[in-house]
Amino acid sequence: MATDLLSNVLRAQTRNGQLAGDDLLHAARSLIDILRSRGATAVPSDSVGDRILGAALLLEPALSLLDRSRRMDGSHVVLVAGHLSGDARVAARALSARALGAVSVEAAVLGPWRGSIDGCDEVWSLGSERHLKAVP
């Protein structure tokens, strides 16, 4: 069990560290599509989310962004994260966003993610499959 957890953490860290070039641009374009279709505001969940948002802003400078320290009253929020080894951080960010006034919280994460994340209404995968998919 501990070996699996450590393996998952190392795998996520490695993949996040390698995010660059076409893969980064693909994630940014996928995120832009999600934000447009949902009418949502992006909030980074981790440092990789910051990188994806930075690339997305280069492609679409008018994207709506918030940082985690500001009120989100009435906002529809999409938390942006890299590859995950577990969902605790995103779940905590979702809880925080709701406490700051967000009316809906979704997550967009790199790679395949199976299942839901506590506090998130929907989870979007920005995976290498080159298409978007919602996880119920």
Asked if 90 and 45 touch (Cβ cutoff 8 Å), the reply is yes
Q: Which CA distances in Å does 22 have to 26, 28, 99, 105, 123?
A: 6, 10, 36, 28, 23
In this model, does residue 3 exceed pLDDT 70?
A: no
Q: pTM surpassing 0.75?
A: yes
What is the tens place of the pLDDT at every residue in 69-100? 889 999 999 999 998 888 999 999 999 999 99
15 Cβ contact partners less than 8 Å away, ≥ 6 residues apart: 82, 83, 110, 111
User: 132 falls in which pLDDT band (50, 70, 90)?
Assistant: very low
Which residue intervals of the chain are DSSP H helices? 2-17, 21-38, 47-59, 88-99
User: 12 falls in which pLDDT band (50, 70, 90)?
Assistant: low
Q: How far apart are CA 8 and CA 104, in angstroms?
A: 29
Q: How far apart are CA 18 and CA 134, in angstroms?
A: 24
What is the tens place of the pLDDT at every residue in 15-66? 767 777 888 999 999 999 999 999 999 999 999 999 999 999 999 999 999 9
Supply the CATH classification number for the domain 2-135.
Answer: 3.40.50.2020
Q: What is the mean pLDDT of residues 6-15?
A: 71
β-bridge partners, 123:
107, 135
